[in-house]
Amino acid sequence: MGPGDEVAVPGYMWVSCLSAVIRLGAIPRLVDIDDTFCMDPADLEAKINERTKAVLFVNMSGAPGHIDKIAEITKKHGIYLLEDCAQAAGSSLHGKPTGSFGDIAIFSFQLNKNMTSGDGGMMMCRDEHLYKRCFAIHDLGYARNSEGRLDPSEEDFQLWGVGARMSELAGAMALAQFRKLDKITGSMRNAKWRIREQLSDIKGLGFREIPDPKGDSGPFMITTYESQDLRDRFVDALRAEGIRGPEGSLTCIKMNEWGMHWYFNNPSLVQKRSLSKDGFPWTHPSNAFCNDMSYEHGLLPGCDRRHDTGALMAVASCLSDRDIDDIVTAYRKVARVILG
**Same domain, yes or no: 190 and 249:** yes
Could you give the percent of the chain with pLDDT greater than 90?
Answer: 92
**Same domain, yes or no: 205 and 140:** no
* Res 98: pLDDT: 96
Q: In which domain, by residue range, is 145 found?
A: 6-179
CATH number, residue 43:
3.40.640.10
C-alpha span between 340 and 144 (Å, rounded): 64
**Same domain, yes or no: 158 and 215:** no
pTM given for the model: 0.94
139 to 119, 134, 143, 170, 282: CA distances (angstroms)? 17, 8, 8, 16, 27
Comparing CA positions, the residue from 253, 270, 238, 271 lying closest to residue 307 is: 253
Which one of 146, 179, 212 terminates a domain?
A: 179
Q: Is residue 166 part of a domain?
A: yes
**Same domain, yes or no: 68 and 194:** no
Q: Is residue 326 part of a domain?
A: yes
C-alpha span between 34 and 74 (Å, rounded): 18
**Same domain, yes or no: 207 and 229:** yes
Per the structure, the count of domains in the chain is 2
Which one of 179, 201, 227 terminates a domain?
A: 179
* Res 35: pLDDT: 97
Regions of the chain with pLDDT less than 50: none
Which one of 144, 179, 214 terminates a domain?
A: 179
pLDDT tens-digit readout, 62-105: 999 999 999 999 999 999 999 999 999 999 999 999 999 999 99
* Res 146: pLDDT: 86
**Same domain, yes or no: 24 and 96:** yes
Q: Is residue 278 part of a domain?
A: no
**Same domain, yes or no: 326 and 204:** yes
Contact 334, 238 (CB under 8 A): yes
Going by the DSSP 8-state scheme, the letter that residue 245 receives in this structure is -
**Same domain, yes or no: 156 and 131:** yes
**Same domain, yes or no: 104 and 140:** yes
**Same domain, yes or no: 142 and 204:** no
**Same domain, yes or no: 45 and 128:** yes
